[in-house]
Chains A and B, each alone.
Chain A
Amino acid sequence: MQPEQPSPPENSEAADGVDETALAGVMRTVPLGAAILAGSAVALLVAGYLLIYILVFIPRGTVG
């Protein structure tokens, strides 16, 4: 006698309750948000580097 196998859901959308159209819409905007977040973080880091270099390091005089 064969053990009873669970049958796969006929409709995966119905199984996880996620609307595929809404998911596609979210996936269009999420990478853009990640790029903006990463860009802002790197821009802040670069701005900090430039400010310290120009306002602190250079006025401290030459060295070599």
Chain B
Amino acid sequence: MSDTHPEIHERWILKTELLWSFGVGVFIAAALGMILFTALTISVNPPSNVERIDPKGLHLSGEFAEHNLGTTVTDGSVTVRAIATQFMFLPRCIAVPANRRVTLRFASPDVIHGLLITGTNVNTMVVPGFVAQVHTEFTRTGDLLMPCHEYCGLGHSEMWATVQVLPDDQFKPGPDGRISCAQR
């Protein structure tokens, strides 16, 4: 064919390439459409909060002072504040309710850390000078591991915390709206 009818062969190649391009185009459109659909219907987005905070005075006053850390329920909305520092998370155990929207807020006073919560899509960096914020909903109850996943120094492998996902009947914040793992 290539020797006898080069034009037909060229046309055949062009047709095949156009068909392939069409298939790839359909797949890219479908993948983008799926991402857009899940973003609009069930709010699946990459965490993209840009909020500055002074890392030098983090523990002294303001949102991330020691008495503010942990889980707080205000007007029904659940917010968790934690500090990622060399080489621990403060607090080391975080209590959250199952099947409710939770806002997780993290800050670092020293170096870049990162975290993920096993079995969930929570995964973010914690950069000094910025507040890392993730919204999520925990669907399974139980204790989940939350390790640091960004190498932060010699003690990096020892840096982890526990996220305790409690069913509704066990998630009982105190009169100040606060709840910790010990109150279980």
Contact = CB atoms under 8 A, between A and B. Distances in A.
Interface string B7-51: 000001100100010010001000100100011001111110000
A62 B135 contact: yes
Interface in A10-45: 20, 23-24, 27-28, 31, 35, 38-39, 42
Contacts, number: 62
B120 A63 contact: yes
Given A20-B3, A28-B1, A46-B27, A60 B119 contact: yes
A42 B23 CA distance: 10
A35 B17 CA distance: 10
B179 interface: no
A28 B16 CA distance: 13
B31 A24 contact: no
B18 to A, nearest CB: 12
Nearest to A31: B16
Interface residues of B, number: 31
B74 interface: no
Contacts of B16: 31, 35
Contacts of B31: 49
Interface string A45-59: 010010001000111
30 contacts: A23-B3, A24-B2, A27-B2, A31-B13, A31-B16, A42-B23, A42-B27, A49-B31, A58-B44, A60-B119, A60-B120, A60-B139, A61-B120, A61-B121, A61-B136, A61-B138, A61-B139, A62-B42, A62-B44, A62-B121, A62-B135, A62-B137, A63-B44, A63-B47, A63-B120, A63-B123, A64-B45, A64-B47, A64-B135, A64-B136
